[in-house]
């Protein structure tokens, strides 16, 4: 069997077209990511997931989604429950860790029923005064240890439901004063300060199976390249000081924080040390460029992906979903 390319792609709609199917068969990406444009109802999503996996001929191809709760939710009513943002979970005080785990366990049940195996949650970015609102209420707060504790509870809830968590945006997006979807944020804080604040939640969750990079320049470490494209940030900070040895996936290559062609972005991220690159918008001409520039998974990436999948299967726990839903309603009566 051939080794998949080190890329995860999006697709354009609720079903695969013939051109997409042929492209994915040829490109052989590791997996796929779903957005709201791909999600109509349960039956449709299950069919799309099957189509995507059939296109690459791998029944275990990872299927990702951003289902955080709050304003970042691809699955919405009337077919799916409304979940709270991280800030609202943290506001529960003594019950916050229970709530973080419970919310993630219910999200995992939703996703697992659809065949989705990876959720881009939890957000470990700190809530920093004066920063851009792109993180905002998606953060569990400003205290690194508390963010880590709530993030771990959320990650464990996903794992117990058979879904892999993705800690993001490593090594920390909280200080960004612009939205990296639009421009490249530059963080000028000294490394020593970052290591005791922004980096800390990621270090405390360095055992997690997947992480997503931040498209942010940390000028005290690499003044020229954002973390996604920086060998120094990946080797010295993410793999080094933080100690993360799981699957490292780039944030979306189509975000405006990155410059250059799509080939240069893909090549740069993989050369920097990302295991996999992510391209989300489903635009065929961009995907073709990214695919051409993306090599097969390295041996190290294959090892990390296999270890993550083994962990996903090992941590699966049965749950009384009706009881969890009742507790959710008690904790969040207005949702």
Q: What are phi and psi of 198, to 5 degrees?
A: -55, -45
Residue 315 known to be catalytic: no
Residue 153 to residue 165: CA distance in whole angstroms = 11
Classify each residue of 111-127 as buried b or exposed e, where b means 16 or more C-beta atoms within 10 Å of its C-beta.
bbebbbbbbbbbbbbbb
The span from the CA of 168 to the CA of 216, in Å, is 12
Task: Give the distance, in angstroms, between the CA of residue 46 and the centroid of all CA atoms in the same chain.
Answer: 20
- Select from 334, 335, 331 the least CA-distant residue to 89: 331
Cα(first)–Cα(last) distance of the chain, in Å?
47
Q: Choosing from 181, 236, 245, 315, which is the catalytic residue?
A: 181
169 is catalytic: no
Strand, coil or helix: 6: strand
Closest CA to 104 of 71, 138, 75, 68: 68
Which helix (DSSP H) or strand (DSSP E) does residue 192 occupy? Answer: helix 191-195
DSSP state of 236: I
From 251, 252, 275, 279, active-site residue = 251
Catalytic residues: 181, 251
């Amino acid at each position: 069997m051939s080794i998949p390319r080190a890329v995860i792609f999006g697709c354009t709609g609720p079903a695969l077209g013939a051109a997409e199917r042929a492209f994915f068969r040829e490109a052989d990406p590791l997996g796929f990511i779903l957005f709201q444009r791909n999600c109509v109802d349960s039956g449709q999503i299950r069919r799309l997931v099957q189509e995507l996996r059939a296109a690459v001929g791998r029944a275990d191809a990872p299927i990702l989604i951003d289902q955080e709760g709050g304003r970042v939710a691809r699955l919405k009513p009337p077919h799916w429950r409304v979940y709270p943002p991280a800030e609202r979970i943290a506001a529960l005080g003594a019950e916050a860790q229970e709530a973080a785990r419970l919310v993630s366990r219910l999200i995992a049940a939703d996703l697992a029923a659809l065949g989705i195996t990876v959720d881009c949650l939890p957000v470990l970015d700190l809530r920093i005064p004066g920063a851009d609102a792109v993180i905002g209420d998606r953060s569990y707060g400003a205290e690194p240890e508390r963010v880590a504790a709530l993030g771990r509870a959320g990650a464990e809830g996903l794992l117990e439901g058979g879904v892999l968590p993705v800690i993001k945006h490593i090594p920390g997006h909280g200080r960004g004063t612009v939205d990296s979807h639009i421009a490249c944020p530059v963080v000028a804080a000294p490394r020593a300060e970052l290591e005791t604040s922004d980096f800390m939640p990621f270090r405390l969750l360095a055992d997690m199976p997947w992480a997503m990079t931040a498209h942010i320049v940390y000028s005290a470490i690499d003044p020229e390249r954002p973390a996604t494209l920086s060998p120094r940030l990946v080797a010295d900070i993410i793999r080094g000081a933080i100690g993360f040895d799981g699957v490292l996936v780039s944030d979306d290559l189509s975000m405006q924080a990155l410059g250059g062609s799509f080939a240069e972005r893909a090549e740069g991220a993989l050369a920097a040390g990302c295991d996999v690159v992510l391209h989300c918008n489903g635009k065929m001409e961009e995907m073709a460029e990214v695919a051409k520039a993306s090599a097969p998974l390295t041996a190290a990436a294959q090892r990390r992906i296999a270890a993550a999948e083994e962990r996903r299967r090992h941590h699966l726990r049965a749950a009384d979903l009706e009881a969890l839903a009742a507790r959710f309603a008690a904790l969040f009566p207005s949702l």
